[in-house]
Chains A and B, each alone.
Chain A
């Protein structure tokens, strides 16, 4: 059973600080990794994708991938109250099958 693990939180971060969200995955063959943001009662929204080891930056967001450690992280700089949401880590299923395997999500609260 391929798994994606996240700390469910809540993770509380002061406004303006850096929020750090972490994710581990079990399948060494996974090739692509995604971070989705989900507001309460809404659908997931893709915010970052990463395919290679290292860092990928997009505005205030940085995704980090370490395939040797099977670890993905998302950093949010200058956190804003509007960043308060659940962040879902997702990994491609691989093995010729399409679709994503999702973690349960980390609930992030940005304190004004």
Chain B
């Protein structure tokens, strides 16, 4: 049971480039989330999904897009990278939603935009 996996671990982008951060889970969790964490800050929710084909915005969705075609995968797309998107990105999943959403996190992707 690998849990939540993320690729790549590290990436450097130039301003204006695009990339997709991959996230997969093998726990058959319906709920998946993307967060970003800036230095010395708490995690901020970018997007989340309550099941295949259903996604919704979190606190800081601007500059990002998501899709959820399968239960297992929840990729995050950056279309036009900006220095403000330099951050560590964490994907998480949970079995339940609402008040019972104990979330389990992947190892993260450290992204630098220059």
A99 touching B106 by the CB < 8 A rule?
A: no
B101 touching A92 by the CB < 8 A rule?
A: yes
Q: How far is the CB of B99 from chain A (nearest CB, A)?
A: 4
Partner of A45, one of B35, B44, B48, B105: B105
Residues on B with C-beta less than 8 A from A31 are: 98-99
A: residues with CB less than 8 A from B are 4, 8, 31-32, 34, 42-46, 49, 51, 88, 90, 92-94, 97-105
Q: A43-B90, A99-B33, A99-B48 are in contact. Are A32 and B42 (CB under 8 A)?
A: no
The interface centre, meaning the residue of B43, B58, B107 with most chain A CB atoms within 10 A of its CB, is B43
Residues on A with C-beta less than 8 A from B106 are: 43
How many interface contacts (CB-CB < 8 Å) are there between A and B? Answer: 65
Partner of A46, one of B43, B97, B100, B103: B103
Q: Is B12 in the interface zone, CB < 8 Å from A? A: no
B: residues with CB less than 8 A from A are 31, 33, 35, 40-45, 48, 50, 56, 58-59, 90, 97-108
Chain A, interface SS category: strand
A102 touching B43 by the CB < 8 A rule?
A: yes
Q: A49-B102, A51-B99, A98-B101 are in contact. Are A43 and B42 (CB under 8 A)?
A: no
Residues on B with C-beta less than 8 A from A49 are: 102
Q: A43-B90, A43-B106 are in contact. Are A32 and B99 (CB under 8 A)?
A: yes
Q: How far is the CB of A88 from chain B (nearest CB, A)?
A: 6
B43 touching A88 by the CB < 8 A rule?
A: yes
B45 touching A100 by the CB < 8 A rule?
A: yes
B99 touching A97 by the CB < 8 A rule?
A: no
Partner of B107, one of A42, A94, A102, A103: A42
Partner of B31, one of A88, A98, A102: A98
B42 touching A105 by the CB < 8 A rule?
A: yes
A98 touching B107 by the CB < 8 A rule?
A: no
Q: How far is the CB of B7 from chain A (nearest CB, A)?
A: 14
Residues on A with C-beta less than 8 A from B90 are: 43-44
B99 touching A104 by the CB < 8 A rule?
A: no
Query: What's the Cα separation between A62 and B60 when bound, in Å?
Result: 32
Please name 11 further chain A to chain B contacts, defined as beta carbons within 8 Å, in addition to the given A46-B102, A92-B99, sorted by A numbering. A4-B42, A42-B107, A43-B107, A51-B99, A90-B43, A97-B56, A100-B33, A100-B45, A102-B35, A102-B42, A103-B42
